[in-house]
Amino acid sequence: MSYELKSFWDKVDIKSTDECWEWNGGLHTKDGYGETKYVGNNIYEKLAHRIAWILHHQKEIPKGLLICHTCNNKRCVNPSHLYAGTHGDNNVDTFNAGHCGSGRPLKFKEGELWLMQRMRDKIPARIIAKCFKTTILTIYRNTVSNKIRQRQLS
């Protein structure tokens, strides 16, 4: 692990995939997001959750996209709770009425989501994404937000 990665994740309260990993770096913005500094090749980032996404996916955030939380916890930097979405995504889902919604309406059938959810516990998201001919982010988005939904219903 590079120094850069280590010094970042050292400041994170890392737990299981399902739980929120809160930023413990101390600083946070007025909005409540974790704040630090990351300088990449062409990137300068200050928000911890955006940096977590970049470090995890090893690429830049696509232009014009926001990094949204499926968990609505602004201090959370767990890569499985983060996805790249548009400003439009923020308004679509009323379930997560916070800063970022959980994304576009689901395109999968109930049975598919059930299967996806079961697979998610055992199989890496990239493999599941291949099975469903979709992106890893879609898998994260649907499985995590469903878990939160179930938790709220029970």
CA distance 113 to 31: 33
Contacting residues for 110 by C-beta, under 8 A, at least 6 apart: none
Using the rule CB under 5 A, is 52 a contact of Zn ion?
Answer: no
Using the rule CB under 5 A, is 125 a contact of Zn ion?
Answer: no
Using the rule CB under 5 A, is 80 a contact of Zn ion?
Answer: no
Options 36-44, 58-66, 74-82, 114-122: segment touching Zn ion (CB under 5 A): 74-82
CA distance 102 to 152: 15
What is the 8-class DSSP label of residue 22?
Answer: B
CB of 140 to Zn ion, least distance (A): 11
Binders of Zn ion in range 10-39 (CB under 5 A) = 20
CB of 69 to Zn ion, least distance (A): 6
CB of 36 to Zn ion, least distance (A): 17
Asked if residue 51 lies in contact with residue 122, where contact means CB atoms within 8 angstroms, the answer is: no
Cβ neighbours of 55 (radius 10 Å): 18
Using the rule CB under 5 A, is 71 a contact of Zn ion?
Answer: yes
Q: Which is nearer to Zn ion, 100 or 128 (CB)?
A: 100
CA distance 141 to 152: 16
Using the rule CB under 5 A, is 72 a contact of Zn ion?
Answer: no
Using the rule CB under 5 A, is 73 a contact of Zn ion?
Answer: yes
Using the rule CB under 5 A, is 148 a contact of Zn ion?
Answer: no
Give me the residues that bind Zn ion (CB under 5 A), please. 20, 71, 73, 76, 78, 81
